[in-house]
Amino acid sequence: MILTTINNIPGKQIRETLGLVRGNTIRAKHIGKDILAGFRNIVGGEIKEYTEALNEARDEAMKRMLKQAEELGADAIIGIRFTTSQIMSGAAELLVYGTAIKLGE
């Protein structure tokens, strides 16, 4: 499956647009990781616990979007975008979406 943030695939023609595909996950803070992150915030530097949590959320959301595209028989997903939003204190949603397409010859 070809994945891209642009709205076309250079050298390929779009034969059919299958529609919007998306994947999301909602993650809450982990108290142990939150305490470690609080210490890192005091001394500065990357908050690795949150980086790891965000990477896991991104991977899960991508898997869900890919599954949806595969069910439609897509060859590619174009125009991929990520967004996040706070659901409640201590919990956030990560959403990924794009357009599933079939490629021509």
User: Which residue segments constitute the domains of the chain, with CATH numbers given?
Assistant: 2-103 (3.30.110.70)
- Return the pLDDT at 86: 81
State the pairing for strand pair 91-103/76-88: antiparallel
- Return the pLDDT at 41: 61
Digit-coded pLDDT (tens) for 50-98? 788 888 899 999 999 999 999 999 999 999 999 988 887 777 889 999 9
Of 21, 16, 11, 12, nearest in space to 77 by CA: 21
Averaged confidence pLDDT in the chain: 86
What single-letter amino acid sits at 43?
Answer: V
Digit-coded pLDDT (tens) for 12-63? 999 999 999 999 998 876 555 555 556 556 666 677 777 888 888 999 999 9
In 93-105, which positions are buried (b, 16+ CB within 10 angstroms) versus exposed (e)?
ebbbbbbbbeeee
Can you give the pTM of this predicted structure?
A: 0.81
